Amino acid sequence: MSNTIDKKILNTSVEKAFNILDCFSTDTIELGVTEIAKLMRTNKSAVYRMLATMEALNVIQQNTENGKYRLGLKLFELGQKVSINQNFISKARPYMEELVKRAGETAHLAIYKNQKVYFLDKVVGRHDLQINSQIGTEKPLHCTGLGKVMLAFVEHDYKKTIKNLDLESVTKNTITDKQKLITEVENIKNNGFALDLEENEIGLVCVAVPVFSTKGKFIAAISTSGPSARFNENEIQTYTGDLKQTAEQLKYIFS
């Protein structure tokens, strides 16, 4: 059976409700009606009607002090029923731990979510380097090795995606030129791995590779991160080999 959804059978009310939910993120926890309408490119009255229904179902909650809306507890309750990510993580964990033993550096497992890097798991290396990443948080695509892998292997029209991204400068090394990022993503597609050369944190280098299913579908991305002093050219080649070996192991448990 095909997984392709015929647009004609979509319930527009349900679709709009999920579009409203997608307006929120870990960085944007509250939004007003006008802000949501602007993000959805629709009129305020339609958004207000949807919000009223969603609030009655406890999917959305209104802050009575400022009139803005936030995600409701019903979503948390539903989230507790979904064990896919946890199952995904528990199956991957032994392979991630083995990767860390070989490389000695911190490893991350992430998925693509709402054009962001979403961290599923983190295994700290023996050097116990403090890295600014937390499970369940998001980071931009353009300034992370994981994100650049996702641009290369998730987005079919990565050039269009990049042109629509806000390439915010996170460090002095962040790629903010869209054509330069397009060229780098093309190289990643050819080489099968991505580098973050102090583009998200000064002093920190990251090597990332994609994880595919046995059918060739992109599933996730994994990375090894550590201080720039330890990530010379030879070490990067070693880390890349270790990552690709782990990705090959993971493809069978995720298929």
Pairwise CA distance, residues 205 & 96, whole Å: 18
Looking at the domain that runs over 7-79, which CATH code has it been given? 1.10.10.10
Given a cut of 50, whether residue 1 has pLDDT beyond it is no
Contact present, 196 and 209 (Cβ < 8 Å): no
pLDDT score for 2? 40
Which pTM was predicted? 0.67
pLDDT tens digits, one per residue of 31-90 = 999 999 999 999 999 999 999 999 999 899 998 889 999 998 788 767 655 555 677 788
CATH 1.10.10.10 boundaries in the chain = 7-79
CATH 3.30.450.40 boundaries in the chain = 83-253
pLDDT score for 180? 97
pLDDT score for 104? 85
pLDDT score for 81? 54
Mean pLDDT over the full length of the chain = 87
Q: Average of pLDDT values for 173-183?
A: 97
Looking at the domain that runs over 83-253, which CATH code has it been given? 3.30.450.40
Q: Name the nearest CA neighbour of 141 among 151, 156, 132.
A: 151
Pairwise CA distance, residues 201 & 172, whole Å: 9
pLDDT score for 5? 44
pLDDT tens digits, one per residue of 155-172 = 788 999 999 999 999 999
Integer Rg of the chain from CA: 20
